[in-house]
């Protein structure tokens, strides 16, 4: 437990890095990704690809997904991806509680055991979901072997759903070489984006509410904005900076975190500053007009109306 919890009256640490589904804040793109994964598995879309920058909240979405899937869906969760295909398949079978019975000497025997398992689930009208985190780290050959499992010729292969979650490099890997042939098997793709400014405030509020406190008790509006700006809307960096500001605030015996304290925290965590390119597209895509352009267009429109009115007046005078 963090030392500052008692000082600030937290029931537990509000900005820990553990992927606890209770702390999941469903911003728009997070909600879309979670619903896409849930829908894709239940409707048997075959392969689902979810990508996002480091720290944007992909793993916590996986834990939320695993918590909410029904009893008719058997799951295997793989988070160790530095494996060859044989060991990956062994881990999947163990997670599915499929007894190997010594049949692990070859890939062929493992695939046969997996096929038998799918046949059993098919007769029970169940679905098998393999969810892989950090999927961008899988070798292309391993990815190819994994995706081939969903193309096995039996009807039972339809119960298999593969969810690949990873960094944006995963998309590039899937678009290259021998993996291109599997593109048509990808039923759903979604991208988790950094939080907008309003979502950033909502994120802080949500986390503090879960530990029994209000955002206004701790962060000034300026401090909350500075945390979001520094983090570029990346939740993991927001967590680290918030925790650091509480450490500094406790040391200063300050119940309120202002922009000065946030600035001190930023000095300690400056190496984590993300590229501004991560947040600018989100700020420009919120539907608001680019005001200088709008003003110019409005001015031109007004001048046009004025000249048109003068022309009508002159024409009437001459007609008279």
Do 186 and 200 belong together in one domain?
no
Helix 259-268 vs helix 221-231: crossing angle, to nearest 10: 20
Which CATH number is 52's domain given? Answer: 3.40.50.300
- The radius of gyration of the chain from alpha carbons, rounded to an integer in Å, stands at 27
Do 56 and 156 belong together in one domain?
yes
pLDDT score at 298: 40
Do 69 and 184 belong together in one domain?
yes
Which CATH number is 264's domain given? Answer: 1.10.8.60
The total of structural domains in the chain comes to: 2
pLDDT in tens, 40-84: 999 998 899 999 999 999 999 999 999 999 889 999 999 988 889
If we measure between CA atoms, which residue out of 261, 283, 265 comes closest to residue 273?
Answer: 265
> Is residue 295 in some structural domain?
no
Listed residues 192, 216, 245: the one ending a domain: 192
> Is residue 178 in some structural domain?
yes
> Is residue 165 in some structural domain?
yes
> Is residue 203 in some structural domain?
yes
Per-residue buried b or exposed e for 155-166, using 16+ beta carbons within 10 Å of the residue's own CB: ebbebbbbbbbb
Do 148 and 173 belong together in one domain?
yes
Do 64 and 179 belong together in one domain?
yes
* 132 contacts 18 by C-beta, under 8 angstroms: no
Do 76 and 141 belong together in one domain?
yes
Per-residue buried b or exposed e for 200-213, using 16+ beta carbons within 10 Å of the residue's own CB: bbbbbbbbbebbeb
Do 75 and 149 belong together in one domain?
yes
Helix 28-42 vs helix 58-68: crossing angle, to nearest 10: 40
Range of 222's domain?
Answer: 196-283
pLDDT in tens, 253-302: 999 999 999 999 999 887 887 665 444 444 433 333 333 433 443 444 44
Residues of the chain where predicted confidence (pLDDT) is lower than 70: 1, 102-104, 153, 274-320
């Amino acid at each position: 437990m963090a030392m500052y919890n008692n000082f600030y009256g937290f029931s537990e640490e509000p900005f820990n890095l553990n992927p606890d589904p209770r702390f999941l804040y469903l911003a728009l793109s997070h909600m879309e990704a979670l619903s896409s994964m849930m829908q894709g598995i239940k409707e048997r879309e075959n392969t689902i690809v979810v990508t996002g920058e480091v720290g944007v909240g992909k793993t916590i979405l996986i834990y939320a997904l695993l918590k909410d899937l029904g009893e008719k869906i058997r799951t295997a969760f793989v988070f160790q991806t530095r494996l060859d295909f044989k060991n990956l398949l062994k881990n999947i079978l163990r997670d599915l509680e499929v007894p190997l019975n010594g049949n692990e000497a070859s890939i062929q025997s493992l695939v046969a055991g997996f096929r038998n398992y799918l046949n059993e689930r098919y007769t029970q009208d169940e679905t098998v979901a393999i969810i892989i985190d950090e999927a961008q780290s899988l070798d292309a050959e391993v990815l190819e072997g994994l995706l081939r499992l969903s193309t096995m010729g039996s009807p039972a292969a339809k119960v298999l759903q593969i969810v690949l979650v990873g960094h944006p490099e995963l998309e590039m890997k899937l678009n290259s070489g021998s993996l291109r042939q599997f593109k048509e098997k990808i039923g759903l793709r979604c991208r988790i984006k950094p939080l907008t400014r309003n979502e950033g405030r909502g994120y802080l509020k949500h986390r503090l509410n879960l530990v029994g406190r209000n955002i206004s008790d701790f962060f000034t509006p300026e401090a909350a904005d500075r945390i979001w700006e520094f983090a570029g809307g990346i939740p993991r960096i927001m967590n680290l900076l918030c925790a650091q500001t509480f450490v500094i605030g406790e040391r200063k015996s300050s119940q309120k975190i202002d922009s000065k304290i946030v600035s001190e925290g930023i000095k300690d965590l400056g190496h984590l500053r993300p590229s501004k390119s991560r947040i600018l597209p989100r700020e420009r895509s919120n539907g608001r007009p680019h005001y200088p352009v709008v003003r110019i267009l409005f001015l031109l429109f007004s001048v046009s109306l004025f000249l048109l009115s003068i022309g009508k007046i002159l024409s009437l005078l001459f007609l008279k």
